[in-house]
Amino acid sequence: MRIELPYGKSTLPCDIPDCRLAGVLRGGLDSYTPAEPQKGLVEAALAHPVGSPGLCELARGKRRVTVIISDHTRPVPSRVILPPMLREIRRGNPDARITLLVATGCHRETTAAELTDKCGADIVARERIVVHDCDRNCVRIGTLPSGGELWVNREAADCDLLVSEGFIEPHFFAGFSGGRKSVLPGIASRGTVMYNHNAAFLASTHARAGILDGNPIHRDMLYAARTAKLAFICNVVINARHEVVAAYAGDCDAAHREGVQFLEGLCAVPAASLPIVVTTNNGAPLDLNIYQAVKGMSTAEMLTPEGGVIIMAAACGDGHGGEGFLRFFEQTPNASELLEQIEAVPAADTTPDQWQAQVLARILSRRRVILISRADPELVRRFGIVPACDFPDALRQANTLAGEDARILVVPEGVSVIPQLD
């Protein structure tokens, strides 16, 4: 059977003998047919907000309005979402001074070309855009329930109305993306992000994809959004083609929860554990680097037993994704030892990229990972990951590790599935 895997901006062919293929695990997003075109879905959500007045009403009398938008690592169709949001704001207050604040979290700065690709040339030329820097221009606005200091970008702290766009997908330790996540980690300081992403929180069994209730990371994030006075969100659900299939607007928790409920109905799928699991990070832009690819690996982790093999297809054109992330594995090559070291780090001493290293170390300490990518093979090996140049090469290596008769499960879009194990 041939399966085309999302890979960069294209696909990667994956040929598996029928006798070994245990199944192809897909959510229902790609087969779901929305009631309206993308633009209509967003406009309908804005016209019927959940748990909040409309954006037009909220904008009345507000002189400075900050709209948090996603960065280059997120496939949010901002060019679809932003125009109706901006129209609603200006309908409520034509004189509003609007700032688009790019929520980079601790990622690198979004480039001008990336902003144009995401938002469209008209918006980039017309609107005031500020790219968040987690090390500068932040102010303290409170203390998180976990005890960490809450610092956010001054453009958010000093505005009269704070709103955000975004998208909802399963998230490997925050439960789901979207909603409150625009503030923390989106526009928070590096120190605030690190405290929230501490080792004890990451080790919690509630800090997993598909879980919000009882998730300590989510609790801090929601508190941060409320404290920053995030008044309104417009979040979308997208399919593999990055098309809007549903939209939710309104209160940052209530509207987000409605979107989560819809998504769970499409992404939560019955599954069983298999010796070899093939998956991806949903292609570009999510498979930009090894750092981001950990998300798809974490889905495969749930579907493989201890000692199992994960074949990950992720283009990783930007390489490792973070010097600090790589440094963890260079300093402690043994994944089990690295995991033990990280889990002993107090919350206040969390260092950059520690959380991603913790999840990858957890995966590598119990499973073998083979990565099909465009990254330098030597770089891949420095993480303790086995490099492969294409799928046949990856399958040959997986056969050596798991056996030539080992059954194989394929999860074409690893970021969009929440496995429900028997």
Task: Respond yes or no: is residue 107 known to be catalytic.
Answer: yes
> pLDDT tens digits for 120-162?
999 999 999 999 999 999 999 999 999 999 999 999 999 999 9
Determine, yes or no, domain membership for 194: yes
Confidence of residue 30 (pLDDT cuts 50, 70, 90): confident
Residue tagged active-site, from 72, 107, 218, 256: 107
How far is it, in rounded angstroms, from Cα 66 to Cα 160?
8
CATH code at position 202:
3.40.50.11440
Please report whether residue 414 resides in a domain. Answer: yes
Domain boundary among 239, 266, 293: 266
- Spell out the residues 6+ positions from residue 186 whose beta carbon is closer than 8 angstroms to its own: 68, 70, 103, 104, 105, 132, 164
Across the range 408-420, mean pLDDT stands at 95
Q: 240, 266, 292: which is the final residue of a domain?
A: 266
Does 330 share its domain with 403?
Answer: yes
Per the structure block, which two tokens stand in for 352?
Answer: 């950059």
Q: What is the DSSP string of 81-133?
A: HHHHHHHHHHHH-TT-EEEEEEE-TTSPPPPHHHHHHHH-HHHHHHSEEEE--
What mean pLDDT do residues 100-114 have? 95
Q: SS3 breakdown of the chain: % helix, strand, coil, rounded to 5?
A: 40, 25, 40
The length of the chain is 422
- Quickly state the pLDDT bin for 285 (edges 50, 70, 90): confident
Q: What is the mean pLDDT of residues 189-202?
A: 96
Q: Taking the CA atoms of 373, 185, 138 and 93 in sequence, report the sign of the dihedral they define.
A: positive
pLDDT band per the 50, 70, 90 thresholds, residue 75: confident
33 found inside a domain: no
Q: What is the mean pLDDT of residues 30-41?
A: 94
Strand duo 64-70 + 97-103: pairing: parallel
Residue 422 has pLDDT above 80, yes or no: no
Q: Check whether residue 301 and residue 394 sit in a common domain.
A: yes
**Mode of pairing for the β-strands spanning 368-372 and 386-388:** parallel
pLDDT digits (tens, 9 = 90+) for 366-396: 999 999 999 999 999 999 999 999 999 999 9
Based on the number of CB atoms within 10 Å of its own CB, is 355 exposed (0-12), middle (13-18) or buried (19 or more)? buried
Domain end residue (candidates: 229, 247, 266): 266
Same domain for 295 and 346?
A: yes
Are 183 and 322 within one domain?
A: no
- The catalytic position among 171, 218, 256, 320 is 171
Percent of the chain with pLDDT over 70: 100
Q: Is 270 exposed, middle or buried (0-12, 13-18, 19+ CB in 10 A)?
A: exposed
- The domain in which residue 379 lies consists of 2-27+272-421
> CA angle 119-107-137, nearest 5°?
90
Same domain, 78 and 205: yes
| Tens of pLDDT, residues 309-346 | 999 999 999 999 989 999 999 999 999 999 999 999 99
**CA pair distance 345, 349, nearest whole angstrom:** 6
